[in-house]
Amino acid sequence: MDNKKVADVLDDIGDMLEIMDQSRFRYLAYHRASQVIRSMPRDLEEVRRDEGLTSIKGIGSGIAEKLNELLDTGQMSYFEELKKSLPGSLTEIVHIQGIGPKKAKIFYEKLGIETIDQLEEAVAVGKIQELPGMGVKTEENIERGLEVYRGYEGRLLLNQAIPIAEHIIDYLNRDGLVDNISTAGSLRRWQETIGDIDVLASTRRHSEVADKFCTYPETSSVLAKGDTKCSILLHSGLQIDLRMIDPEHYGAALQYFTGSKAHNIHLREIVKKKGLKLNEYGLFRIKDDMNIAAKTEEDIYKALGMTLMEPELREDKGEIEAAIDGSLPHLVKLVDIKGDLHIHTKASDGQSSLEEIADNCQELGYEYACITDHAFDLKVAHGLDVKRFEDQWKEIDELNKAFDDFTLLKGVELNIDNKGGVDFDDDFLGRYDVVLASIHMGFGQSKDQITDRIIAAMENPHIDMVCHPTGRILGRRPPYSINMDKIIEAASRTRTFLELNAFPDRLDLSDDQLRAAKQAGSKIAINTDAHHFYHLAYMRYGLHTAKRGWLEKEDVVNTFTLEKLKKLLVK
């Protein structure tokens, strides 16, 4: 049973306990445990075997006992018992916007509603507005919540969300109503997918900004409109939240609305112990309500004895402790990147020429770029054979003659076949500057088989890097099952780089996996896997994901000069 499934069970239990009106702290404990397990890069089974479940922060003896049963038998009697007193499908209903545990419980008890379909029927015949404490408006809100739920179950990728956010910010910025404006929430933390877009504006003209925001051209409905916050729903179903704040509180509000929720909760626990209070208006002394800091985020963290944490780190994964003892990482920056090591051209399945790639990489200020077309094994991608690669190398040599401070490298993306073999023999592989290998087929194999295939490739002295190691496509394809601990261990032992594929629907390795790789001493390459020169700009999505993985400049091989990189490429 994988971590996600275990986390889902814990979340369901948390939701059910909340519907049953159990102690808030009890159901929060389940959600907290779920969150920890969900973001853990290591297999829960292995942690259990090596260190025991209670070594995980947020899992105590109670939850550990229940998880032991779940991992051993595939069932948890406590969960099964809960489902006898309450239909499990109610946990689905509380995920609809506007419906929380209290309403879900009323629907169930008064109308016998157990499923979303039944809820839809009840809304259609006007049953909801007859319930105690509810009216026509409530029913309309639920109807809208259902529409959103049905029509917009997916989350946006970063390259979809960022342009929308930038457009709205530009729209609000246009006529001087706002002093300062920024994204906040998951978008500012560069989370890999985005559920809604948060925007924070500092202004003295709250109601004018609110009016302008609520008449944004793409708006389908206004969900809430006040002097400090407004929410709109776009025709696409995407929700945008705007917070307005006076300029002197901007830093406090930015800190507050950037989150994450877990980061803020942890922070406020510390704040409280110091006799202070932190909210979106600032940091205050409780005894006399004196404002201690509010203008910038840095002021607030500084007043708490912490160095400023970049938004990507704010997930309550140890950054607060590190900020207190001064051990925060010096995160890699976009200007550190000196090249891109995974690029396709129209020779295989890309769309741009060598010249176009070289021109655009030089514009980005790179020192080098590696052309890595597919090899002949990958027929669907028009993979190149020996002859065509040799022709490409001649072209590259010609181009390189004309460059001053830039070099095109000769590379290949090999296909790791179902037994761990690759397209070419060792002699030929020795002629490339950089050899990448990745899995493009045989996703259905067992965890051990796929893990062994990748490790076999890493053992090959000519293979420098394993690309998109988990194979996931966000929103479309789950990662294939691999033992990430073993992969990371083998990468570090064989000195094979692991890729952080910056393509916004991959971001593979993920933030948590990157951090585990760094801790094991593996080196990472952030590559775009560009199939068009436009894609070279995707480097920023990889970069921010790298920051979420706590990576520093020296962890990332394509921050090195070509000279240093070449030394590392010798295994």
Cα–Cα distance, 61 to 240 (Å, whole number) = 41
Neighbours of 446 (CB within 10 A): 9
Among 63, 343, 458, 509, binds DNA (CB under 7 A): 63
Binding mask 206-225 for DNA (x = CB under 7 A): ------------------xx
Query: Which long-range contacts does 9-17 make (Cβ < 8 Å, 24+ apart)?
Result: 9/70, 9/76, 9/79, 10/34, 10/37, 10/63, 11/91, 12/79, 12/88, 12/91, 13/78, 13/79, 13/82, 15/90, 15/91, 15/94, 15/101, 16/82, 16/83, 16/86, 16/88, 16/90, 16/91, 17/82
Q: How many CB atoms lie within 10 A of CB 261?
A: 12
Told to check if 228 binds DNA by CB under 7 A, we report yes
The nearest distance, CB 313 to DNA, in angstroms, is 19
Using the rule CB under 7 A, give the single segment among 58-66, 112-120, 303-311, 398-406 that binds DNA.
Answer: 58-66
241 or 413: CB nearest DNA: 241
DSSP label at residue 555? G
Structure tokens at 469: 């190691």
Q: Which of 86, 99, 122, 429 binds DNA (CB under 7 A)?
A: 99
Residue whose tokens read 């076999």 = 456
By beta-carbon proximity to DNA, the closer residue of 45 and 391 is: 45
- The Cα 83–Cα 69 span in angstroms is 17
- Determine contact, residues 185/257, Cβ cutoff 8 Å: yes
| Number of other residues whose CB lies within 10 A of the CB of residue 478 | 13
Which of 235, 261, 333, 571 forms a contact with DNA (CB under 7 A)?
261
Using the minimum distance from each CB to DNA, give the nearer residue, 26 or 564.
26
> 265 or 386, CB closer to DNA?
265
Going residue by residue from 172 to 211, which x/- string records binding to DNA, judged by CB under 7 A?
A: -------------x----------x-x-------------
Specify the stretch interacting with DNA by CB under 7 A; choose among 26-34, 453-461, 485-493, 522-530.
26-34
264 forms part of the interface with DNA (CB under 7 A): yes
Residue 347 parent element (H or E): none
Please report whether residue 241 would count as binding DNA according to CB under 7 A: yes
By CB under 7 A, the count of residues binding DNA is 62
Which residue in 76, 96, 168, 498 binds DNA (CB under 7 A)? 96
If binding is defined by CB under 7 A, does position 351 make contact with DNA? no
Q: Nearer to DNA by C-beta: 76 or 361?
A: 76
Q: How far is the CB of 548 from DNA (least distance, A)?
A: 19
Task: Build a one-symbol-per-residue string for 127-156: x at contacts with DNA by CB under 7 A, - elsewhere.
Answer: --x--xxxxxxx--x---x-----------
Tracing tokens 């190398």 back to the chain, one arrives at: 393
**What HEC string does 72-85 produce?**
HHCCCHHHHHHHHH
Looking at 5, 102, 285, 302, which residue binds DNA (CB under 7 A)?
102
Considering only 38, 277, 346, 388, the residue that binds DNA (CB under 7 A) is 277
Q: Find the Cα–Cα–Cα–Cα dihedral 561, 564, 570, 571, rounded to 10°.
A: -100
Tell me which DSSP letter residue 479 carries. P
Residues binding DNA (CB under 7 A): 23, 25-26, 28-30, 32-33, 54, 56-64, 94, 96-104, 129, 132-138, 141, 145, 185, 196, 198, 224-229, 239, 241, 257, 261, 264-265, 268-269, 271-273, 277-280
